[in-house]
Amino acid sequence: MRRPAAALRKESDSESELEIDTRVWRLRRGADLVQAWKRPPSKIELQELAAAARKLSKGACSYWIPAFAQPTTPVQRFALDVFHFHCRRLGWTPKRLKALGKNAGAEVWAQRRSGKERQERRGMNWHFDKDEDLLDDCELVVHPLIGTATYLSDAGAPLMVFSQPTLQMSEDGPLYHEPRLRRRQSDAFVAFPQKALHVAFSGQLLHGVPGVLEHSRGERLALLVNVWLHHRPIGLERCGAEPTERGGRLPNNSPGRSLCFRPKRGSETVSLPMTSLFSHLRCVQVNRSKHGHNGCQS
């Protein structure tokens, strides 16, 4: 997601947030690449959330809510519910999260497609979620720990997530221009939007929304929450109030050290099982594009 941010970046510069905690590049993401739940891990009313997501989508930018901030809106509360659910699931205790200080939190934004736009505009290019401003400013890639999408409407193109290619890892993190295929075949996960469906995927995975696979045209509304640990994306506007006493004092964190895919010509067409909302397709042929990585953005 694009950030708003020249003015905001100044603010984060003065907090010297450009120091990278390199442990972010060694985070363990769990064995499940992609998972789906029929309902999101939050009690916030979906209708209320949908209204807020429509508003949020107009701004076309994302926000940062620290792990132990006090939420002041339903979207903020939802983002923290999602954040803590996935952290718990991956074995992160509140104590360990608190030890990360300001480098633990959720990024939240909304995506809306009206259904009236042309088909190409009703989808989204293949991309990796990452700290966009860090890539622009420093050519460094940091992915979130986990990416999530919660659907608030019943129409639109599916989310597709691939097990590979992933970006080649180096000492200075993943290399943006070097997507790597370890095997000839990839797994693909397909999730068709339906109200309340919640999908989570490992933050380093290639994904997109292919407009051509849409099965019902209409409003497509998604609320996205990415879980970040050991890193706070630069340039994001912060939201939420200061933590209460109960949240405890946040220690200062000390940093560790200051595509494009194309099915093979002539390969078999995959027909998607439309009877299920979420499917896992094994052994999908993925080829390295002659043109390399397309550098799409969310």
Ligand X SMILES: O=C(O)CCC(=O)C(=O)O
Measure the CA–CA gap between 276 and 188, rounded to whole angstroms.
14
User: Which residues are 179's β-sheet partners?
Assistant: 167
Helix (H, G, I), strand (E, B), or coil: what is residue 243? Answer: coil
Q: How far is the CB of 199 from ligand X (least distance, A)?
A: 8
Could you tell me the smallest distance in angstroms from the CB atom of residue 265 to ligand X? 27
Q: Of 90-129, which residues contact Fe ion (CB under 5 A)?
A: 129
Using CB positions, name the residue nearest to ligand X.
298
Positions in 52-111 near ligand X (CB under 6 A): 111
Q: What is the DSSP letter of 154?
A: S
Residue 99: count other Cβ atoms within 10 Å of its Cβ: 13
Closer of 163 and 298 to ligand X (Cβ) = 298
Indicate whether 197 belongs to the interface with ligand X (CB under 6 A). Answer: no
- Peptide bond before 165: cis, by omega within 30 degrees of 0? yes
> How remote is the C-alpha of 140 from its chain's centroid?
17
Question: Residue 202's binding partner, choosing from ligand X, Fe ion, none, with beta-carbon cut-off 5 to 8 A by kind?
Answer: none
124 binds, among Fe ion, ligand X, none (CB under 5 to 8 A by kind): ligand X
What long-range pairs does 184-187 form, CB within 8 A, spacing at least 24? 184/285, 184/286, 185/282, 185/283, 185/284, 185/285, 185/286, 186/162, 186/261, 186/283, 186/284, 186/285, 186/286, 187/33, 187/162, 187/163, 187/280, 187/281, 187/282, 187/283, 187/284
Is residue 225 part of the contact set for ligand X (CB under 6 A)? Answer: no
65 versus 159: smaller Cβ distance to Fe ion: 159
Residues that contact Fe ion, how many (by CB under 5 A): 2
Sign, CA dihedral 35-36-41-46, equals positive
Partner whose binding site includes residue 152, from Fe ion, ligand X, none (CB under 5 to 8 Å by kind): none
Residues touching ligand X: how many (CB under 6 A)? 11
Nearer to ligand X, 62 or 76 (CB): 62
Give the nearest distance from C-beta 50 to ligand X in angstroms: 14
236 lines the binding site for ligand X (CB under 6 A)? no
Which partner in Fe ion, ligand X, none is near 227 (CB below 5 to 8 A by kind)?
Answer: none
User: What single DSSP character describes residue 222?
Assistant: E
In the bound complex, what is the minimum distance in angstroms from residue 216's beta carbon to ligand X?
15
What is the footprint of ligand X within residues 121-140 (CB under 6 A)?
124, 129
- Residue 207 contacts ligand X per CB under 6 A: yes
Which residues of this chain interact with Fe ion, rule CB under 5 A? Answer: 129, 298
Which residues of this chain interact with ligand X, rule CB under 6 A? Answer: 1, 111, 124, 129, 149, 159, 207, 209, 222, 224, 298
